[in-house]
A = this chain, B = another copy of it.
Amino acid sequence: MDCKAKAYILSIGNELLIGKVTNTNASWLAQRLTLLGYCVERIIVLPDNMDDIVEEFHRAVSRADLVISTGGLGPTPDDITNIALAKALNRELETNPEALEMLKEKYAKRGYPLTPEREKMAKLPKGARPLPNPVGTAPGIMVETDSRLIIVLPGVPAEMEAIFKDHVEPILKSRGRPYFYREKMIRVKGVPEADLTPILRRALKIDEKAYVKSHPRGLEDGVPVVEIHVYASSSSEEEASNIVDKVEKFLIEEIRKTFGQSASISPLN
């Protein structure tokens, strides 16, 4: 896979580690980042615990160009992502006037007082920028350090998605050259996954920008069904499309040639 840059996603929250909540935030973000040309190299789910958050921010920033976290931005005692990020970056935590203004405005509208719990959400690492939250109250946080970009988002999916679409996506699009992700899915009925392996192995060698992966889908009418996913990312839209088309064509021809009538092949998109 060719990529614009490497990304790490940090998903903060005990509810994910006890299996109370499925990590749909991470798959949503992973899909968006992939479409923007990023290679997501890790998704790390970690507890609401200072040392763990500091450690994983530290590790992520030392390895990835882009680090996006979700969770731990609210007013409750276990919302400590802003503090942990400041520690990880070795920066002071300070009340950001712009973030404070955002909170004041929100709470004035709702008629709630600005308590210390609420003011906590305006504390950002020195040099950080708040990202307005069009759905909830806690602003997101953006920090640049050397050439790395760190984006901190709330864990509530609607808030996370809104901040990402309104404020993060435009920033990521403006960084570096645009990238294009293209994919195809082929469904093969009648051939066991293992027997497709020699063909998959050759398909993987066609172009290093392409990735090919098979997913067994069990039996249908007593015969195996396998879906093959082909995808590529490139700074040229045409190239990304051509690579995926070329690999798809190769797969269909080789499967037909090898298995004849016993393989029923259908494109899925």
Q: Which residues of A pack against B, CB within 8 Å?
A: 11, 14-24, 26-34, 39-48, 52, 74-78, 110, 112, 115, 117-118, 136, 156, 158, 192-198, 200-201, 204, 211, 213-216, 218, 229, 231
Q: Decide if A194 touches B117 in the complex (CB within 8 Å).
A: yes
List chain B residues, Cβ under 8 A from A193.
74-76
- A247: shortest Cβ distance to chain B, in Å? 14
Q: Given A19-B30, A41-B52, A42-B46, list of 6 further CB < 8 A pairs?
A: A18-B30, A19-B27, A21-B27, A112-B195, A115-B194, A117-B198
Q: Decide if B29 touches A17 in the complex (CB within 8 Å).
A: no
- A27: shortest Cβ distance to chain B, in Å? 4
Bound together, the chains give a CA A16 to CA B27 distance in angstroms of 7
Q: Decide if A76 touches B200 in the complex (CB within 8 Å).
A: yes
Interface of A, helix, strand, loop or mixed by DSSP? mixed
Bound together, the chains give a CA A71 to CA B23 distance in angstroms of 17
Partner of A15, one of B28, B42, B196, B213: B213
Q: Decide if A197 touches B77 in the complex (CB within 8 Å).
A: yes
List chain B residues, Cβ under 8 A from A200.
76-77
Closest chain B residue to A192 by CB distance?
Answer: B112
- Residue pairs across A and B with Cβ atoms less than 8 A apart, 18 shown, are A11-B43, A15-B215, A17-B30, A18-B30, A18-B34, A18-B231, A19-B26, A19-B27, A19-B33, A19-B40, A23-B23, A41-B47, A41-B52, A48-B213, A76-B194, A77-B201, A77-B204, A110-B192
Q: Which of A41, A213, A229 has the most CB of B within 10 A?
A: A213
> Taking the full assembly, how many copies of this chain does it contain?
2
List chain B residues, Cβ under 8 A from A21.
27
Q: Which of A19, A31, A52, A158 has the most CB of B within 10 A?
A: A19
Bound together, the chains give a CA A77 to CA B197 distance in angstroms of 7
Q: Decide if A18 touches B31 in the complex (CB within 8 Å).
A: yes
Bound together, the chains give a CA A31 to CA B192 distance in angstroms of 32
List chain B residues, Cβ under 8 A from A75.
193-194, 197
- A89: shortest Cβ distance to chain B, in Å? 21
Closest chain B residue to A154 by CB distance?
Answer: B216
Q: Which of A26, A29, A52, A198 has the most CB of B within 10 A?
A: A26
Closest chain B residue to A41 by CB distance?
Answer: B47
Partner of A196, one of B41, B76, B194: B76
Bound together, the chains give a CA A158 to CA B77 distance in angstroms of 38
List chain B residues, Cβ under 8 A from A195.
112, 115, 117
Closest chain B residue to A233 by CB distance?
Answer: B18
List chain B residues, Cβ under 8 A from A76.
193-194, 196-197, 200, 213-214
